[in-house]
């Protein structure tokens, strides 16, 4: 099979498209012929060496995608050859063929395309648990969403609106601001302006109920924009590591800092199916709209990574074998 691999850490130029042996599936796995693969910042962090990698090079990136089952292990009884499936947390996805454990198989309804599944599963399930578990958004909440034009950001905006909240989005350009507005953000501010003050102006000095913080370096500012007793949910660091948080500040302001990681939520096949089913229903009913992804071939992995890191993209980037 063909796969996108790297042997040393570095920039997009370390990625190579080459032949590797086909995966050998275990008795409780299925072999999937990939049709679409999601590209995420976690792939960039792994390529740079910021995240731990197991095994030895050549390393294969990717954890999210969708395709067709072409072989099943002898212990697999509820998945058949020909089934359309997706996954959000299976390694080595940047390849034509991927071995997927049966417990991580997410069945795709006919109305959900491979491209939609690969574009929405990891980021959509992330937005789902952030708004249901990390902080349960209630009708009337005022919510600040960082990187509101990104993949998770656009989904957060829509889900918060679906749950009855008001959204203030943050973006880095007017073009991205338009994208956040298009999916329903009530207000969109630019990072280049005094957005903390603007947030306080919009909320009449109160601050927001919750901030979904994915930039990292803006964590201190996020707290400044949060009301007394409010919450900051830290789930990403696309802009760099945050400064340490003073616990005295948390005590004095009764504010809460909580973290979010999808792998602590997707702990069973039941959780994967229940959460993805609700997400797919929202999409099918038009309550959540997935932006048209930007597509590169798997062989164009270097270009795809460079484009993601350029911050010019809005929505999802897909790799297609």
Kindly state whether residue 201 falls inside one of the protein's structural domains: yes
> Where in the sequence is the domain holding 294, given as residue range(s)?
2-120+266-320
Same domain, 107 and 148: no
Cα(14)–Cα(74) distance, integer angstroms:
38
pLDDT one-digit tens code per residue, 159-194: 999 999 999 999 999 999 999 999 999 999 999 999
How many C-beta atoms surround the C-beta of residue 210 within 10 A?
28
Give the mean pLDDT of 200-205.
Answer: 97
Sheet with 208-213: list strands edge to edge: 187-190, 166-171, 142-145, 208-213, 226-234, 256-259
Q: What is the pLDDT of residue 207?
A: 98
Whole-model pTM: value is 0.86
Give the mean pLDDT of 30-59.
Answer: 89
pLDDT one-digit tens code per residue, 115-174: 999 999 999 999 999 999 999 999 999 999 999 998 899 999 999 999 999 999 999 999
Lowest mean pLDDT among 52-66, 218-232, 293-307: 52-66
pLDDT class for 42, splitting at 50, 70, 90? confident
Nearest to 176 by CA among 204, 145, 200: 145
Kindly state whether residue 133 falls inside one of the protein's structural domains: no
Residue 108 · residue 66 · CB < 8 Å: yes
Kindly state whether residue 128 falls inside one of the protein's structural domains: no
Kindly state whether residue 56 falls inside one of the protein's structural domains: yes
Total number of domains constituting the chain: 2
pLDDT class for 314, splitting at 50, 70, 90? low
Q: State the Cα torsion 155-157-163-168 to the nearest 10°.
A: 160
Kindly state whether residue 159 falls inside one of the protein's structural domains: yes
Kindly state whether residue 132 falls inside one of the protein's structural domains: no
pLDDT one-digit tens code per residue, 79-105: 999 999 999 989 999 999 999 999 999
Q: What are phi and psi of 128, to 5 degrees?
A: -65, -50
């Amino acid at each position: 099979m063909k796969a996108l691999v790297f042997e040393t850490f570095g920039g997009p130029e370390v990625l190579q498209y080459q032949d590797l042996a086909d995966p050998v599936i275990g008795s409780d796995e299925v072999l999937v012929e990939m049709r679409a693969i999601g590209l995420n910042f976690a792939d960039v962090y792994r390529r740079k060496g910021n995240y731990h990698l197991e095994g030895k090079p050549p390393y294969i990136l990717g954890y999210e995608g969708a395709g067709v089952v072409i072989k099943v292990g002898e212990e697999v009884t509820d998945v058949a050859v020909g089934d359309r499936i997706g996954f959000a947390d299976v390694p080595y996805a940047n390849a034509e063929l991927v071995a997927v454990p049966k417990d991580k198989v997410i069945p795709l309804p006919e109305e959900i395309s491979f491209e939609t599944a690969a574009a929405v599963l990891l980021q959509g399930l992330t937005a789902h648990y952030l708004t249901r578990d990390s902080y349960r958004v209630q009708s009337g909440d005022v919510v600040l969403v960082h990187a509101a034009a990104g993949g998770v950001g656009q989904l957060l905006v829509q889900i918060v609106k679906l749950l009855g909240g008001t959204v203030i989005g943050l973006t880095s350009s007017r073009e991205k601001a338009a994208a956040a507005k298009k999916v329903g953000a009530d207000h969109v501010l630019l990072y280049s302006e005094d957005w903390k003050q603007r947030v306080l102006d919009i909320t009449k000095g109160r601050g927001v109920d919750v901030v979904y913080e994915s930039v990292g370096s803006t964590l201190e500012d996020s707290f400044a924009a949060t009301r007394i007793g409010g919450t900051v949910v830290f789930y990403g660091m696309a802009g760099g590591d945050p400064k340490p948080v003073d616990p005295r500040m948390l005590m004095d302001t009764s504010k809460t800092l909580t973290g979010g990681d999808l792998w602590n939520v997707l702990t069973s096949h039941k959780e994967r199916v229940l959460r993805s089913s609700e997400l797919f229903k929202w999409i099918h009913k038009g309550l959540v709209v997935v932006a048209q992804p930007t597509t590169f071939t798997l062989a164009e992995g270097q270009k795809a990574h460079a484009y993601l890191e350029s911050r010019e993209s809005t929505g999802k980037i897909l790799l297609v074998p």
